[in-house]
Structure 1
Amino acid sequence: MHINPRIAFFTFGVLKAPVGDPVVQGFVDRIGDVYAAAEGSEGFFDRSIRDVETWEHSWGPIIAPACAPAGLAMTRFAMTLSLWRDLESVAAFAYHGAHREALSKREDWAEKGPWPTYAAWWVDGQHKPNWSEAVERIDHLHVHGPTPHAFSFRKPFDAMGLPVRMKAPRPAS
């Protein structure tokens, strides 16, 4: 049982080229607007913030999931880690506004592969997930499919670990 539960949400993508390459510049150009849209969304609590100079994140060192292609530079990975009130809040942000527009162009910038592109899980309200936890969750989802430990929009679980049906996402505010 979680106290004041929140959704931890980890996104993962493999870019077609390293950050700095013109092939992915359209993706990079949208990062600021997408982060601002997330931060302004109803149900958003917090996110790990990357220092663009050092590539370090505020919630600890980033690591690649085991399900990622081996041998790629970290600048080929697009990853976010955030906290939300509920899965519907994440969906409202993800499928509306600036993020939806960027998502519609993901084939231009990101590789398609067998790995999950995101994982969600419940945490206690005061818990701040780190990158090690996030990659463990996405790797678990990759190997075992959706479970209360790590799940997706299509097969979500509530904070008690029971399967639930998502409500229709409301437009992001």
Structure 2
Amino acid sequence: MPHLALYTFGVLKSPLADPAPLTREFYGIGEAVYRKITQQPGYLAHAEPAEIDRGVLFEADWGAWGEFSVPTWYGKGRTAETTALAATLSLWTGLRPAFDAIYTGLHREALNRRYDWFERTGHPNYVFWWVSDGVTPTWQEGVSRLEHLHDQGSAPHAFTFHHSFTPEGTPARVRGIGQQSDQVR
């Protein structure tokens, strides 16, 4: 059975290494959100470096998730002192579980505050695509799909909740966004 890959990307207002209160708050909430997300029904896995060191994303060993990569529009730093981004790469059983995890509870509270921490870039901040069972998506694939979404719009290759697709490529809707449909997995 196919799994749903999700790549998220945001440009932070200040570097990850910044000791400012908002950066510390973002980290505190982010750690709590990750713990909650991993307990959600339908959650399968997410990319984690072998060793966690704040701001060291580009040099980290991400294992099967591949070399860390960012969209071409990211223009801030790439060192531990200058990196100003937050990115995730995860796998889900389907759209409904991902929607429920993202738009409820602690993650929803964090989303409501996203503009305290993130710049408004005019680019999409997440993208979905389907992968075959047993396939681990890579960071480079996530970036490619996000850029495709920005350039071409939603399609079975790269889509959003608002314009989503089944693994077979037919349009789907998640209850709570757009029209209701029984096609959502």
Tell me the SS of whatever aligns to 1:159: coil
- Deviation of 1:61 after TM superposition, in Å, equals 1.9
What CA distance in whole angstroms lies between the structure 1 residues aligned with 2:103 and 2:3? Answer: 20
Output the CA distance in 2 between the equivalents of 1:164 and 1:94: 18
Residue identity over aligned pairs, in percent, reads 36
Superposed, 1:1-173 pairs within 5 Å as 4-21=1-18, 22=20, 23-50=22-49, 51-53=51-53, 54-55=56-57, 56=60, 57-58=62-63, 59-66=65-72, 68-70=73-75, 72-74=76-78, 75-168=83-176
CA radius of gyration, larger in: 2
Q: Which residue identity lines up with residue 9 of structure 2 in the other structure? A: F
- Aligned equivalents of 1:19 and 1:154: distance in 2? 30
**Alpha-carbon shift at residue 64 of structure 1 (Å):** 1.0
| Structure-2-length-normalised TM-score | 0.84
Q: Which blocks of at least 5 consecutive residues in structure 1 are unaligned?
A: none
Contact 1:88/1:168 (8 A) holds in 2:
no
Give the TM-score of the pair, scaled to structure 1. 0.89
State the 1:101 CA deviation. 1.2
Which protein has greater RCO, CA pairs closer than 8 Å, 6+ apart?
1
Where in structure 1 do 4 or more consecutive aligned residues deviate above 6 Å?
none
Paired AA for residue 64 in structure 1: V
Which segment drifts farther, 49-58 or 116-125? 49-58
Cα distance in 1, alignment partners of residues 52 and 172 from structure 2? 38
By how many angstroms is 1:104 displaced?
Answer: 1.0
Corresponding residue SS for 1:138: helix
Partners of 2:176 and 2:4 lie apart in 1 by 17
What secondary structure, in the 3-state scheme, does the structure 2 residue paired with 1:114 have?
coil
Give the aligned residue type for 1:8. Answer: A
User: 1:69 is aligned with what amino acid?
Assistant: Y
